[in-house]
Amino acid sequence: MDASALPADALAAAEDLAAIVRASPDAMYTTRLDRTVLTWNRGAERLYGRPAAEVIGRSFDAMIPGERAAEVEWIITEVSQGRWVEGLETQRRRADGSLVDLSVTVAPIFDARGRVDRVASVAGDITALKNSQRELAESLRQLRELVYRDPLTRAGSRTLLIENLESLRGGARDITVLTADVDDFQYFNNTFGHQTGDSVLMFLADLFRGLLADDEILARIGGDEFAIMSHDHGPDRGAGLARAIQAALAEPVVLGGHRHTIGVGMGVATASRPLPGLADFLLRRADLAQFEAKSAGHCLWRAYDADMEAGFAARTTVEERLRAAEGTDQLSLVYQPICDAHTGEILEVEALMRWRHPEAGQVSPAEFIPVAEQCGLILPLGAWALKTACRDIAGLGRRGRPVRLNVNVSPRQLADPGFSAVVAGALIASGLPAERLTLEITEGAIAASNQTIAAELEELRRLGVGLAVDDFGTGHSSLARLHALPFTTVKVDKSLVDGVAGVRGGDVIVHAVIGMAHGLGLLVVAEGVEHQEQLDRLREIGGDLIQGFLLHRPMPLAELAERLPAQAGV
């Protein structure tokens, strides 16, 4: 129909509509069903970067990305059947080749006979909105990654582990959690730097992953602690994993150009089927078992046992009471003399810590020292014992009763980078000459010693302090190992001394130890001497010093002072 034939009102409306289309910021255009462009407004020119003269009469296909071709065919099918397509979010290609995000509404245009012969499209640029959505999605992905994945080791997080445990349904069986905590992790950080510590964690994560089935989960649940979750692999899966990890860590590992012995203490807990609070139930039990494993030694594992509950409760009570006792008169020192094997003269004393609790009474060192070691209290308590003993014995020296002092040192103290400074400070504050102090280190600590401890021992010797290996003969070390370290004294364990008298050939080992120690220039102290026959035989086979109830029991400082003869001019 000729526009001039339209009624005036209709013509005005058509002109108004045309003006709106021209001025609209949205892209408005019409095409035939074969996608030939018929009209193209300014909004379309801006959106697609193509002027009307370039587009009209040509196919719209140049603006359709290949991956959207099927979508366009669907739109044409819908519209050709008289249906609208509204608010479709899609993409089209600009003249410069870039993609633009659009919201498109497509409507059919009917001819005079009521058939669809053209298509009207209105498209709005939603690129900013889609970019915001993509940025939000990426932020959510990163947040999820932070919540559920450890960025260093790529292991799962504690949250991931707990959610997976709590999501298990009734059909799951033999649900197992194995926790693994790195032995002496601070050694790696303190000696070689945190980069090496990170390398240890990444190495362990890779090792664990290599041992797991596809449906088992590895998580890093603490600074140096991992957990493995397994189910439906049988009740012995945890034990099998623990043994496999032990075997894999049996040999040293080269990291950063250095050979390292890496160990983990492991705890295993299993539930036969899901139950309320499963994650807390299994993690707590695995942690109890892990504590037992780490208390027992290097790279060991334990399976949860109900008896561990009582032990844990008892240790917790001891720890709480010990923390309260720190800095009070509940703690004191006694001194056990160490005597010349031939004359009986008191030449040295060993400082021993005692604890009298107001309710529990006298608490055995065998009970509270391991707890102090495990919870870290051994550092302040050990420093207090060292300073107090140095002050006491230096005071005896100033009163004309000089005697050498032996103080026990724990593995945790030796691993502390500032320990030699603590020793030097105690000597300076007390005035005790360094050559009158000997530090006793258990044979087990020597066997497990690393480069840090070896360096600490060398530093202590440079101070002039003597070093004694305590409890020698308990099976942890050898004289060859001692020869590589700067020791001055060997203290033969009571278990060997017990065989010196009364058993045919029982003194052979002690005799051999004394001979080899003397060959290495080491002084020999026999511990736990309780019978005259033992003393007599030790004298015959060359023992240097004697310590035991036969001669003296541990005693307070005042009693020790009475037993030491005053020496004029000292």
Q: How confident is the model at residue 503 (pLDDT cuts 50, 70, 90)?
A: low
Q: What is the mean pLDDT of residues 283-307?
A: 91
What Cα–Cα distance (Å) separates residue 432 from each residue in 332, 345, 405, 438? Answer: 20, 21, 9, 12
Domain extent, residue 92, equals 3-130
Same-domain status, 32 and 162: no
How far is the C-alpha of 456 from the C-alpha of 139, rounded, in Å? 48
Q: What is the reported pLDDT for 19?
A: 61
Greater pLDDT, 250 or 19: 250
d(CA 422, CA 426): 6
Domain identity same for 442 and 535:
yes
Tell me, yes or no, whether 98 and 191 share the same domain.
no
Confidence of residue 389 (pLDDT cuts 50, 70, 90): very high
With 80 as the cut, is the pLDDT of residue 8 above it? no
Which CATH number belongs to the domain containing residue 9 in this structure?
A: 3.30.450.20
Give the model's pLDDT for residue 125.
Answer: 93
Tokens encoding 273: 């089927």
Q: What is the DSSP string of 495-553?
A: HHHTTSSSSTTTTHHHHHHHHHHHHTT-EEEE----SHHHHHHHHHTT--EE-STTT--
- The answer to the question of residue 240 being in a domain is yes
Confidence of residue 570 (pLDDT cuts 50, 70, 90): very low
* Co-location of 550 and 411 in the same domain: yes
The strand order across the sheet containing 301-303 reads: 156-157, 217-222, 225-230, 175-182, 264-271, 301-303
Q: Is residue 227 part of a domain?
A: yes
On whether residue 380 sits in a domain, the answer given is yes
204: left (phi over 0), alpha (psi -120 to 50) or beta: alpha
Q: What is the pLDDT of residues 550-566, one digit of tens each?
A: 999 999 999 999 999 87
Query: Is 169 among the domain residues?
Result: yes
In a domain, 143, yes or no: no
What is the structure's pLDDT at 193?
83
Buried b / exposed e across 208-233, counting CB within 10 Å, b at 16+? Answer: beeebeeebbbbbbeebbbbbbbbeb
| β-pairing verdict for 545-546 and 523-526 | parallel
Nearest to 144 by CA among 134, 128, 156: 156
DSSP letters spanning 154-221: -PEEHHHHHHHHHT--TT--SEEEEEEEETTHHHHHHHH-HHHHHHHHHHHHHHHHHHS-TT-EEEEE
d(CA 500, CA 508): 8
Of 130, 164, 182, which marks where a domain is finished?
130
| 31 contacts 37 by C-beta, under 8 angstroms | yes
Percent of the chain with pLDDT over 70: 91
Position 330 in a domain: no
417: tokens are 């980078």
CATH of the domain at 259: 3.30.70.270
Residue in this structure with the two tokens 């700067």, named with its chain if needed: 486
Structure tokens at 418: 């500032």
Instruction: Specify the DSSP class assigned to residue 436.
Output: G
Looking at residue 552, its pLDDT comes to 96
Helix, strand or coil, per DSSP, at residue 470? strand
Q: What are the structure tokens assigned to 272, written together?
A: 């036969």
Q: Round the average pLDDT of the chain to a whole number and report it.
A: 89
Q: Is 326 within a domain?
A: no
pLDDT tens by residue, 188-243: 887 788 899 999 999 999 999 999 999 999 999 999 999 999 999 999 999 999 99
Nearest 5°: the CA angle 347, 352, 353 is 155
pTM of the model: 0.62
242 and 199 in a common domain: yes
Determine the 3-state secondary structure of 335 from DSSP: strand
For residues 531 and 400, membership in a common domain is answered with yes
Q: Give domain status of residue 318, yes or no.
A: no
Instruction: Over range 347-367, report the average pLDDT.
Output: 94
Distance, in Å, from the CA atom of 557 to the CA atom of 353, rounded to the nearest integer, reads 12
The per-residue pLDDT for range 43-97, each reduced to its tens digit, is: 999 999 999 999 999 999 999 999 999 999 999 999 999 999 999 999 999 999 9
- At 480 the pLDDT is 63
Q: Output the domain CATH number for residue 554.
A: 3.20.20.450
- Whole-angstrom CA distances from 132 to 47, 98, 312 are 19, 18, 53
Torsion sign over Cα 273, 274, 275, 278: positive
Number of domains in the chain: 3
